[in-house]
Chain A
Amino acid sequence: MEEWFEESFRELRRELRRLMREVEKFFEPVVDAERGEVEPLYEVIDAGDRILVRVDLPKVDKESVEVSVIGNKLVVKASMREPLRLCDLPYYARCEVTGYKLELEMPLDIDTEKIQATFRSGYLEITLPRKKAYRVKVE
C-alpha cells in the first residue's frame, strides 16, 4: 500500500515538473536567433538501471554531433548539413535554423563515466547508466 502511494506521489511530482517546464518553455523563443539553434524533439525513458535519452536530429551527420556532460547537465549539440530555410514564414524570416541544442538536467545517481551514445539515421540514443548502490563497511 505504501509503495503504491509513494509511486503515485513520484508520478505526481514528475507530472508537475513537466507542466512547470512547459510553462517556462512557453516564454522561451523557439529559435535562438543568435546561434540559429532550436531544441530538438526528444524523449527520456527511465529504464530502471539506466536512463535512455533519444533525440531526433534530422539533417545532421554523425560527425557534427556533440554530447557533453557539463556539471549536472547533459548537453547535446549538432549542426545541420544545410540550414533549414523557412524565410517565407515571418517568424523565421530574419534567422536561419542551422543546428540543435538540448540541455537536460541529470539525476544525481548517473555514472557519468559510463555514458554511451549511438547515432543512426538521424536519431541519437544516449544511455546514462545509474550508479550501483553499495554498502559502506562500518568500522
Chain B
Amino acid sequence: MKDWSVYELKDVPQADYLVVGMPDVGLVGLIASTYLVRTLNAEMVAYLDSPHLPPVLLYHEAQPYPVMRVHRIPAGGKEILLLVSEVAIGARGIYAFAQHLVEWSRSKGVGRLLLLGGVPSPQRMKLEKPAVYGAGVTRDDVELLEKSGFNLFREGFVSGPYALILKECYMRSMKGIALLAESFLNYPDPGAAAAVLTALDPLVGLKVSVEPLLEQEEEIRARLRETMKRTMEAMRETGKAYEFTVPAMYV
C-alpha cells in the first residue's frame, strides 16, 4: 500500500480553494470543518487513505465514512473543496501526507490552500473574542491578509501537519494561508472555531452563521473530550512544544 492515496468518488472539479480542518490545538480545525460540512450539507467527493491512519472506520447515520474526507462546498460561482480529518496523524505519516495533499491540490488547480486551526493562548479563559492570526506563504497571501485586516503571524513557529503543508506550499510557490485563532491548547474550543470561520468568510465568501455553533458550545466540548485526548497524544509527537518556543531570529 502506498504511503498516501486519494480516492475520488466523483468527478472532483478544479477548485479555487482547498480548506483544511484537522484535529490540533483546541480541535479548532476539526470543529470548524465539520460544522461547515453539516451546515452547508457538503457532499463527500473523495477520501484519503494511508497505513499511517489509525485502523478505524467511522459510522454516521448507519453509513461508513473514511476518517479523512474531501467534501465539495457549493459557493456561488466558486469551487471550494474541504478536507476534514476526524483523527490526528502520527509523526511518521505527516511528512508524506503534506507532500501528497499539496501535490494533489496542485493537480486540481487549487488557487490557495486555507488551513483552519488554533494557536494556544494561556489567557484564553479571559478572552471573550479570540483574535485570529493569518500565516501566509507567498507575498500575495500576506498582502491579502493585510488588506483584509488580519493580525499577521509575524514571529514564531507553526508546528505539526499545518507547518508541513505550508512548507510544501512554500517549496512549490503555491498560495497557502493558515488561519489560527487564539484557543485553548487541550480543551475543545468551539469559540475559537467560530472565530476562525468568521475570519474565513471574507476570504472565500461562504456566508456561514456561527450562532448555532456558539449555542452548542458546551455540548461540543463535552462530546469531544475523548477526541481531544487522542489529539493531545499525537500533538506530543509532532513538535507542538515549538509553538511556545522563542525562535533565535526573534532574539
Contact = CB atoms under 8 A, between A and B. Distances in A.
Nearest to A90: B59
A80 B222 contact: yes
Contacts of A30: 226
B218 A41 contact: no
Interface of A is mostly: strand
Range, interface on chain B: 10 to 19
A58 B226 contact: no
A120 interface: yes
Interface in B180-199: 184-188
Contacts of B172: none
B219 interface: yes
A40 interface: yes
Nearest to B222: A58
B219 A41 contact: no
Nearest to A125: B125
Contact of B187 (A41, A97, A120, A125): A41
Given A30-B226, A41-B225, A41-B229, A58 B219 contact: yes
B125 A41 contact: no
Contacts of B2: none
Contacts of A86: 223
B186 A58 contact: no
A45 to B, nearest CB: 9
Nearest to A118: B125
Nearest to A91: B226
A41 B186 contact: yes
A38 interface: yes
B228 A41 contact: yes
Interface string B89-106: 000000000000000000
Interface of A: 30, 38, 40-41, 43, 54, 56, 58-59, 80, 84, 86, 97, 120-123, 125
Which 3 pairs show the lowest CB-CB distances between chains A and B? A58-B221, A58-B218, A56-B187
